[in-house]
Structure 1
Amino acid sequence: MAREFGAPPVIFPSGGNPTVATGGNIQQRRVPTAPFQPSRPSNSGIPFMSFDIGSSATNTAGPIGGGTGPIGGATNFDEEEPLLDELGIHPDQIWKKTKSILNPFRVNPTFHKDSDLSGPIFLYLSFCLFQLLAGKIQFGVILGWIVVSSIFLYIVFNMLAGRNGNLDLHTCTSVIGYCLLPVVILSAVSLFVPQNGAIRYGVAGVFVIWATRACTNLMVAVADGGEEHRGLIAYACFLIYTLFSLLVIF
């Protein structure tokens, strides 16, 4: 037999009683949410992620910089210049200038109007290589004499030409370097010529005259004001290439 206990009714504060006698409707309590909790997208599987990765990737389809190419713009490598042309090295022009020195009686000065130092550097390295094969390490000596001879001939020519002279140091160095070709050939021939003989001195004299004639003709042709002083310019060139030949002979 069930026993009934007389318990007093529980009275809740105003607004918190789930059952109100006057209304008769059941009011459910709402779970409060955090005021600063960001909204989470339904398609995001990463917790605490408040933005959509897919939309961000779609908006940044182009490269950084707004271009259409691989690096901020369309790049066509077929239109790029060759590496040697960008460095200022033209092998065909070097070959034409070198070939013009091979004929000492008819030197073409038109190729030497546009001076460069690529060919002289190549001839300088060739000269040093043949000297190294002969057992002589003269890299610094040859380079120093090229610099000194270029400054020497530049000063001599402009003093002789006066105000009419328009020879610059770059052109002078280029001409002296290209006219070094006979001395380079002499250094290659001297490897097969007996030491301390009359033949060796005779061959060296021929190559010195060859280089002197070529250098004199070019110096007079590429610059103004040197025609009337051809003899003195030839003497200066003769001194320069004689010293180069002495490096080969001794």
Structure 2
Amino acid sequence: MDEYFKVKLTYSSPFSYYPDAEVEPSLLQELEINSDQILQKIQIICHLSRHPDDECLLKDPDLSGPLFLYLLLSTCSFLSGNSPHFGSVYGISVVSCVLMYCLLSLMFSEHVFPVTTVASVLGYSLVPIVALSAFGIFYPLRSLVGITLATSSVIWSSMSASRLFVTVPGKWKQQPLVAYPCAVVAAIYVLILMF
């Protein structure tokens, strides 16, 4: 009986060292958040002329990067003195994701995107708008420079999202048709930042 308690106490001690014990994965690995993959997807959005590896954003869609970008957008908006919080940004993102999914399902009937892919592409395409919101902390966006940067961020965001949406079906001629609703979504976020 005494041996049972000794063994139990030995194995339950949190300060004991076991060389054969498994190494616990980090919290990011347990939550399946790959920071290298998130940075790679942000780089894809930042390079408008890059075409070869654009499908990596569509093959493995994750929502941790877009949620981080939405949180960063809300934080920068709050720091610049605007009133929208994470709830309104997140609500707009959900509505725009559902509407964009319906539109893409009608446009590319032979290739249906999963909802997570649409949410991932729309979320990662907010990188220029997040940069604009960070710029808005230090400089007013209602000036000529702010309006110019806002317009260029809407164009950049819509071009990168539409490029990724037409990559898988291979219908490059339909990119302007997809770019228009992407520009509307990006313009909503920019208008929230400016007013």
Deviation of residue 61 (structure 1)?
6.2
Structure 2 equivalent of residue 97 of structure 1: 41
Structure 2 equivalent of residue 232 of structure 1: 177
Query: Matches of 1:146 and 1:232 in 2, distance apart?
Result: 20
Matches for 1:166-245 after TM superposition, within 5 Å: 166-194=112-140, 196-221=142-167, 223-224=168-169, 227-245=172-190
What per-residue deviation string (whole Å, max 9, x for no partner) do you get for residues 189-239 of structure 1? 223334533332221111110001110111122x43754532221111011
Deviation of residue 168 (structure 1)?
0.6
Structure 2 equivalent of residue 153 of structure 1: 100
Matches for 1:64-75 after TM superposition, within 5 Å: 70=12
Q: Does 1:83 align with 2:27?
A: yes
- Does the CA-based 8 Å contact 2:141-2:147 persist in structure 1? no
Q: More displaced, 196-205 or 174-183?
A: 196-205
Query: Matches of 2:141 and 2:165 in 1, distance apart?
Result: 34
Identity rate of aligned residues, in percent? 32
In structure 1, list runs of 5 or more residues that go unmatched. 1-55
Query: Matches of 1:209 and 1:119 in 2, distance apart?
Result: 21
Structure 2 equivalent of residue 144 of structure 1: 91
Amino acid at match of 1:152: L
Structure 1 equivalent of residue 81 of structure 2: 135
RMSD (Å), alpha carbons:
2.5
Query: Matches of 1:82 and 1:192 in 2, distance apart?
Result: 36
Higher helix share goes to which structure?
Answer: 2
Aligned length: 187
Q: Does 1:248 align with 2:193?
A: yes
In structure 2, list runs of 5 or more residues that go unmatched. none
- Does the CA-based 8 Å contact 1:179-1:215 persist in structure 2? yes
Q: Normalising to structure 2: TM-score of the pair?
A: 0.84
Amino acid at match of 1:111: C
Query: Matches of 1:218 and 1:149 in 2, distance apart?
Result: 16
Query: Matches of 1:187 and 1:58 in 2, distance apart?
Result: 65
Structure 2 equivalent of residue 40 of structure 1: none
Q: Normalising to structure 1: TM-score of the pair?
A: 0.67
Q: 1:127 to 1:244 in 2, by over 3 A?
A: same
What per-residue deviation string (whole Å, max 9, x for no partner) do you get for residues 45-93 of structure 1? xxxxxxxxxxx324776559xxx9659xx97232x33321121111111
Query: Matches of 2:155 and 2:185 in 1, distance apart?
Result: 11
- Does the CA-based 8 Å contact 2:82-2:193 persist in structure 1? no
Deviation of residue 106 (structure 1)?
2.1
Amino acid at match of 2:89: I
Q: Which has the larger radius of gyration?
A: 1
